[in-house]
Amino acid sequence: MCYSAQILADYRKFVRMFGALMDIREFARLFFERAEGISKAKIPKAMEDAFAEPQDEAEREINALIARFTSAQATKLEQDLFKQRKRLADAERTLQTKITKAATESQRIATDKIAWTKGKLEDLQRTELQPRDSRIFPGNYAPVMIMENGRRVVKPMRYQCRIAGKPASYDTKYPGTYNARRDSLEGFWAPCFGRTHAVLLVEVFYENVSKAKFEGTLLETHERDENVVLEFRPSTGELMHVACLWSRWSAPGQPDLLSFAAITDEPPPEVAAAGHDRCIIPIKPENIDAWLNPDPKNLDAMYAILDDRDRPYYEHRLAA
């Protein structure tokens, strides 16, 4: 499964590379619902940064929504920081007169929370982007490209697909729905496969693998079954056009949810040798339009695109 990925988060690059249109209304709705507390959307910092220098009124409105949310988050973090500093001071006063388990534990927790909160504040206020700002995990939003009315369109979608018509509880019942296994495309994913296809631009992907498999050692030689996170990067350094499925979920009294899943298949030899049993599918640029315009009566053509994939050699290393 694709546990995490470093994506192309700036929608403008989609526009330049593919002549795609940006669905400004969907971006505005996403940021509005987050600012209003209607949703708890997790949006990568790099995706917000795309609106740091707005070019028109719509982008200025989005920039203002981002600023409002950031300000509210900063206020909350500062309040939490004040509470933890008070907790730490109270614990240290107690420890000056008597060492107790409760005060010692309170001191430890407050110290850890202060460090965590200060880190979150620094991240929130930081303006210089870092590679991790473009990294998505299940539940995060990302810009993906679909075909709409004959045009390539970029929309923000959640990286965990909730298929239209399914209950919201599927998010917890099926937590792995950020990936769509190729061998399930005509089963669980039948409502999307051959109907609603998308492409995600990925620079690097990450996988959880067994430490024993990665090291090529027997599991019995380890004290416990530990995992490590590996970073996989095409040796060519090129962007991967990852095949995805998407859906628009609607329910009475609930905001619409746009969400997607990356299709995975058997891994190439170098990924399997590193200890992982699945891999995303980067399709060839010349097949993008055909992939985004599926014919539900000709699924063989879609499988052919998945088979005729880009096959870069994936270099890997332990993730930082």
Give the bridge partners for 254, in sequence order.
251
End-to-end Cα, the chain, rounded Å: 19
Cα separation, 260 vs 246, whole angstroms? 4
Spell out the residues 6+ positions from residue 205 whose beta carbon is closer than 8 angstroms to its own: 2, 4, 5, 6, 231, 232, 240, 280
Q: Which of 254, 296, 259 lies closest to 163, judged by CA?
A: 259
Cα separation, 60 vs 75, whole angstroms? 22
In Å, what is the CA distance from 96 to each residue of 47, 87, 184, 204? Answer: 48, 14, 62, 51
User: Structural domains in the chain?
Assistant: 4-23+131-318 (3.90.1680.10), 64-125 (1.20.58)
DSSP structural state of residue 186: T
For each of the chain's 320 residues, which pLDDT tens digit applies? 566 788 776 777 888 888 899 999 999 999 999 999 999 999 999 999 989 989 899 999 999 999 999 999 999 999 999 999 999 999 999 999 999 999 999 999 999 999 999 999 999 989 888 888 999 999 999 999 999 999 999 999 999 999 999 999 999 999 999 999 999 999 999 999 999 999 999 999 988 777 766 666 544 555 566 788 888 999 988 899 999 999 999 999 899 999 999 999 999 999 888 888 889 999 999 999 999 999 999 999 999 999 999 999 998 888 76
